[in-house]
A = this chain, B = another copy of it.
Amino acid sequence: MSRSDPTNLQPFVDRLLARSVLTPDEIQAILALPVHPVEVRGQTDFVQVNEKTSCACFIASGMVARFGETRDGQRQITAFHIPGDMVDLNSVVRPIAVGGLTTLCNTTILEVPHTAIRALAVRYPAVAEAFWRDTMLDAAILMQWVVNVGKQRAKTRLAHIFCEMAIRLGGDRQILQEYDFPVSQERLAEAAGMTGVHVNRSLKALREEGLVTVKRYSVKIHDWQRLAQTGEFEADYLVADTGTDRRARLLAGD
């Protein structure tokens, strides 16, 4: 994996600051959280479905997928998590894992005890709000994922995923035209809700249309415009801070 290899929570703070306002005091308090670094090899399930957890996992480097399982053991990936993400922040208030977590490649995790995070949230309301907001962004991504998986065609689903990752890996600001993405076609299939064979066919189509080339563990976007078009991708839900207050009007006539 690229990126630097920080052993502190600075990238997490950066992430929060992109959407929340925090005082220097509050920032210091977050950086002072006790962390326990853990190296996890690729393709390792480090949290099981419905498992009870006692700490959140900050991704210092590497990549992680959250997944659910069907009875026959098939997996549906519900989220990809990248360096800077505090995976399982939700577990602070609901310590039952909503799905398992598995590494896509060798990954460095900084474990942060729930107790410490909760203490911080009690002391600094603004930090609590920032945490809540952060988990809500994940929820927004998840909602979009449902639409993608529930109502779109194969090529659209894949294109959407590549667009989403391009934005997120670019820090929600720039669009990365090329990035590492350590997933096999089988994994992509688990994310898009289809079979590996069909992923292969669809990737071939996307490649031949000149939209994107997905090689072993890397994505290269050739035509962002048309890829976003094909993926019906609107970045609003990731960046979002616009919109009009139409509800007020609609509900005016109470």
The interface of chain A, by Cβ under 8 A from chain B, is: 36-40, 44, 46-48, 50-55, 66, 68-71, 74-76, 78, 90, 93-99, 111, 118, 121-122, 125, 128-129, 131-133, 135-140, 142-147, 149-152, 192-193, 232, 234, 236-237, 240-248, 250-251, 254
Contacts and interface: CB of A to CB of B under 8 A. Distances in A.
Contact of A125 (B69, B121, B150, B250): B121
Given A121-B125, A241-B96, A193 B143 contact: no
Number of this chain's copies in the complex:
2
Given A46-B250, A145-B146, 20 more contacts: A38-B254, A40-B251, A44-B250, A46-B251, A51-B245, A54-B245, A54-B248, A55-B247, A70-B232, A76-B150, A76-B151, A96-B237, A96-B241, A99-B143, A111-B251, A128-B129, A132-B132, A132-B135, A135-B135, A146-B146
A149 B121 CA distance: 35
Which 9 pairs show the lowest CB-CB distances between chains A and B? A150-B193, A52-B243, A68-B147, A93-B133, A98-B140, A96-B240, A122-B125, A76-B150, A149-B150
Contact of A146 (B48, B68, B138): B68
A254 B135 contact: no
A190 to B, nearest CB: 8
A249 to B, nearest CB: 11
A209 to B, nearest CB: 18
Contacts of A70: 147, 151-152, 232
A74 B232 CA distance: 12
Contacts of A193: 149-151
A161 B118 CA distance: 34
B136 A94 contact: yes
Listed residue (A78, A94, A121, A245) with the most chain B CB atoms within 10 angstroms of its CB: A94
A60 to B, nearest CB: 13
A69 B71 CA distance: 30
A132 B131 CA distance: 9
Nearest to A130: B93
Contacts of A145: 146
Contacts of A254: 36-39
